[in-house]
Each structure stands twice: as structure tokens, then as C-alpha cells.
Amino acid sequence: MRELLLKRKSRFILYVFACLFPVIDQVLKNYSFALLIGSIEVATIDYFIKVLMINIAITLLGILLFMASRFMRISYMRDTILDVRLNAFDKILKKSYEGFSKKSKDVYISNLVNDVNIFEREFFFKLINVIFRGGAYIASIGLLMFMDFRFAMVMLIISLSVFFLSKRFEKRTVKLQEEVSDNNESFTVGISNTLNGLEILKLNRLEDEFLYKSLKKVDDVERKKFHFTVFTEGQRSLTRFLGYVIFVGILMYLLNLAFAGESITRITFMLQLANSCVWTIGMVLPLFNDLKAAAKIYNKITKSDGEATTSINKKQSFSFNKFIEVKDLRFSYEGKEILKGASFTIEKGKKYLLKGPSGAGKSTLIKLLSMIYDNYEGSIKVDGVDFREIKEDTINDHVSYIYQDVFLFEDTVKNNITLFKDMPEKRILKATKHAGLDEFLATKELGLNEPLMENGKNLSGGQRQRISIARAIIKDASLLFVDEGTSSLNQELGSAIEDTILSLDSTVIAISHRYYEGITEKYDYVLELNNGQILQHQSQDYLREVAV
């Protein structure tokens, strides 16, 4: 938190200074009010008018101080909140593939939306109040010491006692705020799962059951919020009660001063300053506890949680010129052993077809070869360099993916193909032609600039898949992974796309259950997964045996 606030050190100092403007306004208003009450004692119309004019001037000054304070604070707050959002997003992007997949994507959405909003709502509102009330406390104690030193010392001791009493609530406040954040995550994930599977739920008439579950999660969230609110308001109620008790004592002391001949103006001003000491310190610690809770949220969404992140302790860059060698590869997922000592070699420029029964581990193997998983036994080396020594971000420039489940941005066809990179239109058109998009683009008035809805909702499954294929082709990667890349296409188009993929210079590793006569035979090798082992076949020999 310290580094966040001091990132713009001079502006933070200006922010603190601006937060103290209301202290000046409060002290002046207290004094002007004391003068107004004291005018009763003077009992002359000229003095009353003079005091009234002072009150009006101080009120106008207060408005100017408020406007100046807000103007000086707002840009710093805006930029700091932007930093929080960027830091939270940066933490997610720097996660390793494996680390990222340990949590639902909806958890990350909750972090970026719910938690950032909690921080934005709670932190700066509480920070300005802590600075203001802290400043008001120091100013009040300072003025009281000038006016009545012994009384000021008593106020100091009493206020600090209230402060340390309130401090006992700190840990519980922070814990309750964290529980609110965790329940927000669970609620977001549950609602997302329900909406994503709504069609299945309605077809199987399970809406009521999932509605009950959703309502239960809403209840959990609201219950935690209620506990947090009750606890924090309980703190404030306790300090308010103590404040009333102390106020009675202050009043009795000041009445004695009045009986001794002290002016009403002085007594009124001292009363207001004393109240500022007691009430202010009583309010500061609950606010300070809320700040601590908000800081915990910030650390949760922005600080490393111990999971592996991209390129940590890895020094080698990915370079594939000859072979990827896999030896004695063993891997388990959720307690199930997927690979049991598999060994094979991937040769640069060759095309490999992954075959095997459902659940055999074909998609898992692709994730291992693309460095998504690294918690395996055995070794995977590219040109003699162990995968575990390679920086994950360097593989991204050399690898493309074509998956059955395509993600599309709410943007133009062009940006979805180029992924927002500046590329020559000739190169883009070549990729769209090879991906079979020409007919689709010809029907669109804006062509490549045709806008897509969220995740391509205005496209058919085949059109979505062809954009994904164009995206992979245009990258011209040395290593291309295909997971059922033509499953959404008709036989004719699927055959043409498969032929295009196999004509690329890239090394291709593909999963496909479809057979295209005269095309599938163009694969160089078949890697057959069965019972945790991998057998490597010449593709024509394998396909001939299967046909027989």
C-alpha cells in the first residue's frame, strides 16, 4: 500500500495537504460560533453585526476551501484507482498458465470488479476522514494547550485511552471485510455458472434448484455484509457512548470556569475543541480499521499469492530449429495418472496427428508441449534446452492455437484476426482466404471492419472457427497446436482448411476425429495415446491398418 500511495509522492503530499483544508474551516467555524454565542454576553447590536459578518466570511471561505480541496484531491484519487485496476490485471496476466487455471475466470472477474469497487468505495473515503480527523485532533489539542494546559493534558490522556480501546477491534474488522470479498467471489462464480448453463437447466427443468442455490449465495453475501456493518457500527456506537460520558465531565469542568468568571466565548470555544478531541479520536480508529481492511483487499488482488508467475527463475528463450524430445513423461491430473512414462520426438516442420480414445490425455499432451503445465515428471526439451528453463512469455511468439472453443473480442473481424497488431492488409487477406472467410466477408458491407458482438454472438460456429484459423495462420508460428479445429465446419470446408493447415511451414500437432480422404494422409506421423503410453506411427501405415 505504501508504494501505491507514494508512487506520485509530490501529489500525495498535495493530497494530504488538501485533506487538511477542512480542518482550517472547522477551527474557524468553531471560533466564529463561539463568538456568536459570546455576543449574548456583550449584548450590543454593533458587536453582533460584526460577529455575524465574520461568520458569513468564514462560511464563504469554507466553500472556497472545500472546492480547492476537492480539486487538489480528485486527480490523484483517479490515477491511483487506475493503478489499482492495472496492478490487479497485471497480477492475473503474469500468472503462469497452470497458476491461472487453478481458479475460475469468474474469480478474477470478481477481483477486478467487486474487490476494486470495494477498495475504491472504502479506501479514499476513509483515508480523507482519517487525515481530516487526525488533523482536527492535533489542531484541537494544540489550541487547548495554549488556552488551558492541564485541561489539554487530561483530554490527551482520555482520547488516547479511547483510541487504544478501539484498536482492539482491528483484527476482527479486517477479517470480516476479507470474508465479504471471498463471498463476493463465490457469488460471482455461481451466478456465471448458472447463466452459462441456463439452456441445459431449462431443458432439464432444473431452474428452481439452481435458483435456490443462487439465492443461498446472495444470502451468504448479504449476511457477511450485515455482520461487517453491525460490527463496525458497534464500534462507533461504543465510542459515541464513551464520548457522551466524557462530554458530561467536560461540561462540568467548563461550568466551573464559567462560575469563576471565564468568558462565554472562551468556554464555548474550549467545549468545541474538547469535543473535537474526544469525538474525533473515537472515530479515527474504526476508520483506520476500515483502511486496514481495504489495504488487505488491495494486497489480495495485486500482490503475489505464491503461485508460479510467468518467467520467474527461467532464463532461456524458446527456440525450435530441430527437435522437441520427450523422455519418460509422467503426468497426473486431479489424482488420475494420464501419462505413464511416454517418450517420443517432434521433428521441426513435420505434421503430427494425435489419436486415442476420449479421456486418454490428448488435450493434456498439447498443454504439456505448449508449457501450460510444468508439474510433470521426466523431461521435455527443445533443441536440448529443458522446458523448465524456458521463459514462458518467449514461447508465445512461436506458438499458435486453433481450439474448438473459440474466444472472440467485441471488436472488428480484422482486430480479432490480428489481435490488435498492425499488419499489412495483404497479409490479412491472404490469411482470410486460406481460412475460408472470403465468402463471409463478401456479404458484409464493412468487410474486415465488420464489428462482432460479445464473443462473436452474431456469427455461426463455423464462422467463429474460421476466424480462429485465420488468427493462427497470420501469426506464421513455428509450432501450431490444433484441437478439433475443423469440427464446426462442413465436410467440404473442413477438408479445405485441413489441407491449408497441413500446407503451412509450421510444425503441426493436431487432435482430430474427422477423416478427410486424400488430406488426412498428409500427416507425417500419428501419435497414438493409449493407457498412458504413446506409440508413434507413420501416418499412412496407421491409417491403412485402421481402414483394414
For range 228-240, the mean pLDDT: 76
User: 180 with 221: CB under 8 angstroms?
Assistant: yes
Query: Do 295 and 333 have their domain in common?
Result: no
Would you state the pLDDT for residue 311?
Answer: 47
Does residue 125 belong to any structural domain of this protein? yes
> Strand 479-483 relative to strand 399-403: parallel, antiparallel, unpaired?
parallel
Please determine, for residue 182, whether its predicted confidence score (pLDDT) is greater than 90. no
Question: Within the chain, what is the greatest distance between any pair of CA atoms?
Answer: 118
- Residue 467 pLDDT level (bands cut at 50, 70, 90): confident
Query: Do 244 and 328 have their domain in common?
Result: no
User: 314 with 388: CB under 8 angstroms?
Assistant: yes
Length of the chain: 548
> Strand 336-347 relative to strand 323-333: parallel, antiparallel, unpaired?
antiparallel
Would you state the pLDDT for residue 199?
Answer: 56
Q: What is the pTM of this model?
A: 0.56
> Strand 507-511 relative to strand 351-355: parallel, antiparallel, unpaired?
parallel
Specify the CATH number for the domain of residue 50: 1.20.1560.10
pLDDT digits (tens, 9 = 90+) for 354-384: 988 887 888 888 888 888 887 888 999 999 9
The tally of domains found in the chain comes to: 2
- Per DSSP (E only), the strands in 166-252 are none
Query: Do 291 and 337 have their domain in common?
Result: no
CA distance 515 to 271: 90
Residue of higher predicted confidence among 143 and 410: 143
Would you state the pLDDT for residue 350?
Answer: 92
Cα angle at 127 between 125 and 131, to 5 degrees? 125
Map residue 153 onto helix, strand or coil: helix
Does residue 426 belong to any structural domain of this protein? yes
Query: Do 156 and 13 have their domain in common?
Result: yes
User: 338 with 378: CB under 8 angstroms?
Assistant: no
Query: Do 348 and 270 have their domain in common?
Result: no
CA dihedral sign of residues 31, 33, 37, 39: positive
For range 475-488, the mean pLDDT: 82
Query: Do 418 and 276 have their domain in common?
Result: no
For range 341-354, the mean pLDDT: 91
Query: Do 110 and 242 have their domain in common?
Result: yes
Among 271, 302, 333, residue at a domain's last position: 302
Map residue 410 onto helix, strand or coil: coil
pLDDT digits (tens, 9 = 90+) for 282-313: 666 667 777 777 777 778 777 766 554 444 56
Per the listing, cell 473515503 goes with 125
pLDDT digits (tens, 9 = 90+) for 243-285: 778 878 888 888 888 888 888 888 888 888 887 776 676 666 6
Would you state the pLDDT for residue 406?
Answer: 76
Does residue 221 belong to any structural domain of this protein? no
Radius of gyration of the chain (CA): 34
DSSP-assigned letter for residue 111: I
Query: Which one, of 442, 507, 498, 430, lies nearest residue 470 by Cα?
Result: 430
Does residue 309 belong to any structural domain of this protein? no
Among 302, 336, 358, residue at a domain's last position: 302
Would you state the pLDDT for residue 328?
Answer: 92
Specify the CATH number for the domain of residue 344: 3.40.50.300
Which amino acid belongs to residue 537?
H
Residues 6+ apart with CB under 8 A from 488: 404, 461, 462, 464, 465
Residue of higher predicted confidence among 204 and 442: 442
Would you state the pLDDT for residue 352?
Answer: 93
Does residue 136 belong to any structural domain of this protein? yes
For range 501-516, the mean pLDDT: 86
CB atoms within 10 A of CB 322: 14
Query: Do 269 and 350 have their domain in common?
Result: no
Which amino acid belongs to residue 430?
K
Class of residue 470 by CB neighbours under 10 A (exposed 0-12, middle 13-18, buried 19+): buried
Of 105-109, 142-146, 230-234, 444-448, the poorest mean pLDDT is in 105-109
pLDDT digits (tens, 9 = 90+) for 50-94: 888 988 898 898 889 888 888 888 888 888 888 887 777 777 766
Among 235, 270, 302, residue at a domain's last position: 302
CA distance 287 to 169: 11
CA distance 157 to 159: 6
Residue of higher predicted confidence among 327 and 307: 327
Query: Do 274 and 421 have their domain in common?
Result: no
- Residue 336 pLDDT level (bands cut at 50, 70, 90): confident
Residue of higher predicted confidence among 45 and 276: 45
Map residue 526 onto helix, strand or coil: strand
Q: What average pLDDT does the chain have?
A: 80
For range 528-535, the mean pLDDT: 87
Please determine, for residue 217, whether its predicted confidence score (pLDDT) is greater than 80. no
Would you state the pLDDT for residue 136?
Answer: 84
In Å, what is the CA distance from 15 to each residue of 71, 77, 377?
10, 9, 54
Does residue 260 belong to any structural domain of this protein? yes
Of 7-16, 165-174, 424-433, 486-495, the poorest mean pLDDT is in 165-174
Query: Do 361 and 237 have their domain in common?
Result: no
Query: Do 394 and 292 have their domain in common?
Result: no
DSSP-assigned letter for residue 204: T
Range of the structural domain that residue 491 is part of: 323-547
For range 456-472, the mean pLDDT: 81
Would you state the pLDDT for residue 309?
Answer: 47
Does residue 54 belong to any structural domain of this protein? yes
CB atoms within 10 A of CB 129: 20
User: 245 with 278: CB under 8 angstroms?
Assistant: no
Query: Do 259 and 366 have their domain in common?
Result: no
For range 469-492, the mean pLDDT: 82
Strand order in the sheet with 336-347: 336-347, 323-333, 377-382, 385-386
Q: Percent of the chain, pLDDT > 90?
A: 5
> Strand 377-382 relative to strand 385-386: parallel, antiparallel, unpaired?
antiparallel
Does residue 72 belong to any structural domain of this protein? yes
